Amino acid sequence: MKNTRILIGAAFVIIAIGVFFLGAGISDRAPTQLTETKLKPIAVNGVEIPVAELQLMMRDRRIAEERLNPQTLSALQSVLVSRELAAQAARSAGLDRDPVVSTRMQMSKEDVLASAYHAYYLKQNPITDAQVRKVYDDLVQRAGDTEFEVRQIFLDDEARAKEILTLLGEGKSFADLAKEHSMDEPSRAKAGNLGWLSPLTIRPEFIGPIRALKKGAYTKTAVRGSNGWHIFLLTDSRPFSLRTFDELKSELRQELSKNGLKAHLEGLLRTATVDVQSLQPDTTE
């Protein structure tokens, strides 16, 4: 039986943030020009390529018109002419009426609109310096002034973790036990070595137990994580200093913008009615 449901999961494609579409390939022609310009349109077999398309190519490549030299202009025009010739040939062959091609053309148009809305939202909701500073100050507080060199033995069963703790108490080598028993393959291959970690890269539930260790000591009880049980050994520690605000502010602003846009699109999804045909097979006869 065919089934219709309302999709409410955040995995819907609208939430796939991170890639902003370049959006070339819309079939509708843009206005003749975007701004005042001395550039002239190109005609190919009597079909005019609007100056706006050349202006957009220059904008995408960050080429100012006053700095445009004849060689660069010729190269850009060649790209437009080549594309137009191929598009004309495709129309002559009826490819614009092909269902796959026409669907891709419509998808490209939607991609451009979505990307334009992303940019519009970010422009209307700029991240303030105060927001960036608050995030940085929170990072400084979380990071502390020490980073840790840590080994681990990871088990998916608490009883097994207790057995390993007993062996450690008997004087068995932590590194040897990690190589033999740990279920985390990347660190197991390195005798449990996780390398140098700052509190910013350690899961919150692990920070306290690791900070409480003295050099050469291991956790006397296994620490429960989301997927199993961890025994940690602190092999060393050293002073740690977070990069300065000026060094991080651009990255933090971008991250805040991305998160804000993601939250906004999730809000749109929560208030939308999205009907999706179920993929369950039709068992009716």
Token readout for 171 is 């004087």
pLDDT tens sequence across 84-139: 999 999 999 999 999 999 999 999 999 999 999 999 999 999 999 999 999 999 99
pLDDT tens sequence across 164-213: 999 999 999 999 999 999 999 999 999 999 999 999 999 999 999 999 99
Mark whether 68 and 114 lie in a shared domain. Answer: yes
Mark whether 5 and 107 lie in a shared domain. Answer: yes
pLDDT at 284: 60
Mark whether 62 and 152 lie in a shared domain. Answer: no
Percentage of the chain with pLDDT > 70? 86
pLDDT at 264: 97
Mark whether 56 and 98 lie in a shared domain. Answer: yes
Q: Decide which of 222, 239, 256 is a domain's last residue.
A: 239
Mark whether 175 and 224 lie in a shared domain. Answer: yes
> Which domain, by its residues, includes 187?
145-239
The sign of the dihedral angle between the CA atoms of 242, 245, 248, 249 is positive
Mark whether 215 and 186 lie in a shared domain. Answer: yes
Split at pLDDT 50, 70, 90, the class of 35 is: confident
Q: Please, what is the average pLDDT of the chain? A: 88
pLDDT at 285: 54
pLDDT at 167: 97
Mark whether 255 and 136 lie in a shared domain. Answer: yes
Mark whether 132 and 248 lie in a shared domain. Answer: yes
Split at pLDDT 50, 70, 90, the class of 34 is: confident
CATH number, position 201? 3.10.50.40
- Whether the CB-CB separation of 277 and 4 falls below 8 Å is answered with yes
Token readout for 165 is 């703790």
**Residue 21 reports pLDDT greater than 90:** no
- Please state whether the predicted TM-score (pTM) of the whole model is above 0.95: no
Residue listed under structure tokens 């999709």 = 7
Mark whether 5 and 67 lie in a shared domain. Answer: yes
pLDDT at 13: 41
What is the total count of domains within the chain? Answer: 2
Kindly write down the DSSP assignment for every residue of 125-136, as one continuous string: SPPPHHHHHHHH
Q: What is the rounded average pLDDT of the residues 63-72?
A: 92
pLDDT at 141: 92
Mark whether 137 and 163 lie in a shared domain. Answer: no
**Residue 283 reports pLDDT greater than 70:** no
Mark whether 48 and 134 lie in a shared domain. Answer: yes
Number of neighbours of residue 173 by Cβ within 10 angstroms: 12
Split at pLDDT 50, 70, 90, the class of 36 is: confident
Mark whether 103 and 219 lie in a shared domain. Answer: no
